[in-house]
């Protein structure tokens, strides 16, 4: 076979079963939902919902942590900006920033960022690049 195989990486969410009543109604499920990266695409799924953009639209991300469960679990809009959250636990996640806003998944405005509570936060940041200097 000539040429190289396209790269693909999957970063599943870290689901906290205590919060299943908040993520299960949207059909989000462990092992199936998370972030998929290819050479061309960034795709995050949360049950029946999906955010997809070109890989070159992702400008980086950074780890966030210490959420209040009632602000982090489920699908949420930010009260501060136009960000979106696909949340499955209240411990840690990655805030992914986009060069150009992506079409709205929920709400009335397109999104400039997406927080995802993947199991391997450091791995996702390494794969997409860090958007903040090391502290």
Between 81 and 132, the higher pLDDT residue: 81
pLDDT confidence tier of residue 133, bands split at 50, 70 and 90:
low
pTM (2 decimals)? 0.91
Between 71 and 103, the higher pLDDT residue: 103
> What are the structural domain ranges in the chain?
8-128
Could you give the CA distance from residue 23 to residue 76 in angstroms, rounded to a whole number?
A: 11
In 10 A of CB 41, how many CB atoms?
14
Could you give the CA distance from residue 79 to residue 109 in angstroms, rounded to a whole number?
A: 12
How many Å separate Cα 96 from the centre of its chain?
A: 7
Tens digits of residue pLDDT in 52-80: 999 999 999 999 999 999 888 999 998 77
């Amino acid at each position: 076979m000539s040429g190289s195989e396209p790269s693909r990486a999957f970063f599943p969410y870290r689901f906290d079963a205590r919060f299943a009543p908040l993520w299960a109604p949207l059909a989000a499920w462990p092992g199936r939902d998370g972030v998929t990266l290819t050479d061309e695409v960034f795709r995050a799924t949360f049950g029946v919902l999906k955010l997809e953009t070109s890989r070159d639209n992702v400008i980086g991300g950074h780890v966030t942590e210490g959420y209040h469960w009632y602000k982090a679990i489920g699908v949420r809009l930010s009260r501060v900006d136009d960000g979106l959250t696909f949340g499955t636990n209240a411990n840690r996640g990655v805030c992914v920033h986009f060069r150009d806003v992506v079409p709205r998944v929920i709400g009335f405005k397109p999104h400039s960022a997406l927080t995802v509570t993947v199991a391997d936060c450091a791995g996702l940041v390494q794969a997409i690049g860090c958007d903040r200097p090391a502290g």
